[in-house]
Amino acid sequence: MDEAMASVPAEEWDDHSGTPAGNARKAALPAEWTRLLAGLSVAFQPIVQMRTGRCHGMEALLRGLERSPFASPNDLLDAACMQGLLAEVECALHAKAVAAFRALDHWPNAKLFLNIDARVVGVAGSPWLAPFAPAPFAPDVGAPDPRLTISLEISERRELRPDHSIEQAIDRYRQAGIGVALDDFGVGFAGLRLLYESKPDYLKIDRYFIDGIDQDTRKRAIAHALVGYAHALGILIIAEGVETEKEFHTCRDLGCDFAQGYLIARPSLDLRAVPERYGIVEELNRQDRRKPNEARLRLSEVIERQPPLAVNSPKTELLEYFRGDNSPSIAPIVDRQQRPLGLIRERDLKRFVYSRFGSELLRNKGLGDTLLDLVVKSPVCDISTPLDQVIEAFSAEEASDGIIIIEGGEYAGFLSSGALIRLVHERNLAMAADQNPLTRLPGNAAIVRHIERALQEQDRRHVLAYLDFDNFKPFNDRFGFRQGDRAILMFSERLKAWASGNGGFAGHIGGDDFFVALSGTEDEDALARVADLVAQFRSDAESLYDPEAREAGCFEGKDRYGALRRFPLLSASGVAVVIAPGPHRLTPDAINTAIAGHKAIAKESPDKLCTVRLPPP
């Protein structure tokens, strides 16, 4: 969307600043503002593909405010707004950023991300709106430079103007060839409304949700939901403020496409060139010794490596793409950096192909020779996206043609609706074979796979817990198998809700034996959640008894020798194995041995939970 740069008459451009001279002539800045802005500098911080380390773009950041009356960029913009100069100041700041960006070597290899105040989005005189200048001129040639690709970052921290349509304003940016990113998402005013109305190209998850995400299940759950929703709409995700290796790995595994933060590079005033790649990201990916996830391997096998078309390709090339009996029914469209923009469907061209003058109209350059106006959005999934998330994306209405698959933020192939249906069928068969028929929880094979994956992730903390009922046989004998099944189903529903709410895993070993797991959570927090699960079932189980038994707190039943005696009401107990981060050689058998050796201790414990820490210090 940021390839099709529109043009305006050359006399409306300032060939030295790279910004619309029309804006400057329309509302020139007062001299004091011109002097103030001249004393400021522009730093750049990279936005990097998480799986390749390739530099995708540079965000321009304002520096030098310590030499001004303002403590922050927000203070500066507030002052400009009070004086009615906000649009003019933004235009000047963007001109400064564009000039500094063009001074870097290899700048055409990356996008330029510019922050824009939400208060001027769509307002007359604001940067990048027609009829002024959708694309800066190159000073040396005096013409629009198609190599410059811009994405405007609209911060959610500012309240949007209520008197105009954000959707219409952003459509005007796109018509000018400008991409859109939502900045600081999740901590501001507009929230999901802005996401819905703006249909952005990028969504930047705010640092608040990235900080400590490897240890916070709630943050992971929120990020997971955002990634799934965004990818279903064809939006790419940028994780802001990544500062630790664990945050990087967690964000990457959740499906984030790009990262920005101190771990990769701090904002720099001394940048001389745009690096092609960042070694720190390549090294982090090399150090990850975990096995490729099964979804990645399977998607690699079934995606169609269908060649894409560049958005600036002539329309005659599109007609050739669909020519022939065996030609595909869709054409994936990418920008200059191979980022997918959407699809063009052959059926949408029928009005041109089958009308009397349709082909001539399609070839008529006077009507525009860009493919952008024919592109429709498509769901996007990373090649490592878990299969369940891929299927969830396919359920979106926009996915009727299939899903674009990306790798490292770049187009990798296309997953057709037919291939996805086959994957769904395979998954359903595998789940049916591995589910407990009563509870529909994952069975033994899935539990073993989960334990194996946890043991491979040695940079994270894991809590693996075995749970079973106390005195279940006397209960089952006394009240019957149907009541026993009710107890098992009651606990399984509690486990499903627990796993969903905590970002964990729950499985059914068989009978009254269950398994739960949490990863990336501090010991005390994870153990408290398991203990809460055990305590909740003790309360739930009271509903299985008559009032007399509940009041007595026990029931009469036969023990294993056939003797009649009193048993406490049904409860659960468990052994929680805590695996600390760090190198180890633990195996699933070692976990099973630790659990078996502590089951009796758990049943005698007041809180019905025994904790085992592995490997021992």
The answer to whether 390 touches 367, Cβ cutoff 8 Å, is no
Identify which has the larger pLDDT, 560 or 506.
506
SS (H, E, C) 551-573: HHCEEEEECCCCCEEEEECCEEE
Question: Residue 235 above 70 pLDDT?
Answer: yes
Q: How many other C-beta atoms lie within 10 A of the C-beta of residue 187?
A: 14
Quick check: is 81 in a domain? Answer: yes
251, 395: one domain: no
Does 535 share its domain with 586?
Answer: yes
Cα–Cα distance, 201 to 289 (Å, whole number): 32
Give the global pTM: 0.69
Domain assignment present for 596: yes
| Cα-Cα end-to-end distance for the chain | 55
CA pseudo-torsion sign 332, 334, 339, 344: negative
**What average pLDDT does this structure show over 414-423?**
81
pLDDT score of 431 more than 60: yes
Flag the least confident range among 120-124, 134-138, 151-155, 471-475: 134-138
Residues 581 and 458 sit within 8 Å (Cβ to Cβ): yes
Listing DSSP states for 374-436 in one string gives G-B---EEETTS-HHHHHHHHTSGGGGGEEEEEETTEEEEEEEHHHHHHHHHHHHHHHHHHB-
**pLDDT tens digit string along 77-98?**
999 999 999 989 999 999 999 9
> Does residue 432 sit within a domain?
no
Task: State the chain's mean pLDDT as an integer.
Answer: 81
Which residues form the domain of 511? 437-614
Residues 118 and 193 in one domain: yes
Categorize the per-residue pLDDT at 326 as very low, low, confident or very high, splitting at 50, 70 and 90.
confident
The answer to whether residue 4 sits within a structural domain is: no
70 and 215 in a common domain: yes
Residue 274 is predicted with a pLDDT of 95
For residues 336 and 262, the model is more confident at: 262
User: Considering the domain boundaries, does residue 5 fall inside one?
Assistant: no
> Looking at residue 439, what is its pLDDT?
92
Tell which of 394, 425, 456 closes a domain: 425
Residue with the larger pLDDT of the pair 13 and 225? 225
What does the pLDDT read at residue 611?
Answer: 95
Which of 20-24, 89-93, 457-461, 505-509 has the weakest average pLDDT?
20-24
Question: What CATH code is carried by the domain that includes residue 454?
Answer: 3.30.70.270
The verdict on 58 and 182 lying in the same domain is: yes
Mean pLDDT of 548-574: 87
Residue 87 and residue 22: Cα distance in Å, rounded?
13
Instruction: Please state the φ and ψ torsions of residue 124, each to the nearest 5 degrees.
Output: -55, 135
Segment 31-42 mean pLDDT? 93
Give the mean pLDDT of 599-613: 93
Q: What is the pLDDT of residue 71?
A: 92
- pLDDT exceeds 90 at position 147: no
Is residue 46 in a domain? yes
* Range 142-157 average pLDDT: 74
- The verdict on 489 and 404 lying in the same domain is no
What pLDDT does residue 136 have? 43
d(Cα 438, Cα 511) in Å, to the nearest integer?
Answer: 10
Specify the DSSP class assigned to residue 105. Answer: B
pLDDT at 130: 46
Pick the residue with more confidence: 269 or 176?
Answer: 269
The whole-number pLDDT of residue 316 equals 77
300 vs 480, more confident: 480
Q: How many whole angstroms separate alpha carbon 364 and alpha carbon 366?
A: 5
Do 438 and 485 contact (CB within 8 A), yes or no? yes
Query: Last residue of a domain, which of 245, 272, 290?
Result: 290
Lowest mean pLDDT among 171-175, 572-576, 603-607: 171-175
| 121 and 40 within one domain | yes
Residue 430 lies in a domain: no
More confident residue, 356 or 320: 320
Question: 579, 606, 581, 607: which is closest to 595 by C-alpha?
Answer: 579
Give the residue among 389, 417, 397, 413 at the shortest CA–CA distance from 226. Answer: 389
| Reported confidence tier of residue 549, pLDDT bands at 50, 70, 90 | confident
Which residues lie below 8 Å from residue 12, measured CB to CB, with a gap of 6+? Answer: 20, 21, 22, 132, 133
Please state, in angstroms and rounded to a whole number, the distance separating the CA atoms of residues 58 and 479: 68
For the cut 60, the answer to whether the pLDDT of residue 190 exceeds it is: no
Ramachandran angles phi, psi of 507, nearest 5°: -140, 165
Q: pLDDT confidence of 119, banded at 50, 70, 90?
A: confident
Taken as a whole, the chain contains a residue count of 617
**Is the pLDDT at 583 greater than 70, yes or no?**
yes
Give yes or no for a contact between 312 and 146, defined as CB atoms under 8 angstroms apart.
Answer: yes
Cβ–Cβ under 8 Å, residues 23 and 132: yes
The pLDDT score that the predictor gives to residue 135 is 42
Task: Please tell me whether residues 415 and 441 are part of one structural domain.
Answer: no
Please say if the pLDDT value at position 296 is more than 90.
no
Q: Looking at the structure, tell me whether residues 131 and 234 fall in a common domain.
A: yes
Residue 247 has pLDDT above 90, yes or no: yes
Looking at residue 240, what is its pLDDT?
A: 95
CA angle 271, 277, 280 (to 5 degrees): 95
**How far is C-alpha 418 from the geometric centre of its chain's CA atoms?**
25
Separation between Cα atoms, residue 261 and residue 287, nearest integer Å: 19
Q: Among 194-203, 384-393, 468-477, which is the least confidently predicted range? A: 384-393
**According to the per-residue pLDDT averaged within each range, which of 185-194, 217-226, 371-380, 594-603 is highest?**
594-603
Phi, psi of 58 (to 5 degrees): -130, 130
Cα–Cα distance measured from residue 534 to residue 573, given in angstroms and rounded to the nearest whole number: 7
In a 3-state reduction of DSSP, which class is residue 42?
strand
Asked which of 288-297, 326-335, 336-345 is least confident by mean pLDDT, the reply is: 288-297
Q: How far apart are CA 167 and CA 172, in angstroms?
A: 9
- pLDDT surpassing 80 at residue 365: no
**Do 259 and 394 sit in the same domain of this protein?**
no
Torsion sign (Cα): 444, 450, 453, 459: negative
Same domain, 39 and 143: yes
Do 451 and 421 share a structural domain?
A: no
Mean pLDDT, residues 394-413 = 75
168 found inside a domain:
yes
Q: What is the DSSP letter of 213?
A: G
State how many domains the chain has.
3
Alpha carbon distance 370, 311 (integer Å):
7
Alpha carbons 82 and 70: distance in angstroms, whole number = 14
CATH of the domain at 112: 3.20.20.450
Which of 504, 487, 469, 451 lies closest to 614, judged by CA?
A: 451
Query: How far is it, in rounded angstroms, from Cα 200 to Cα 237?
Result: 10
Q: Where does the pLDDT of residue 291 fall: very low under 50, low under 70, confident under 90, or very high at 90 and above?
A: low
Examine the fold and report which residue of 290, 320, 335 is the final residue of a domain before the chain moves on. 290
Can you say whether residue 121 is alpha, beta or left, with left for phi > 0 and alpha for psi between -120 and 50 degrees?
Answer: beta
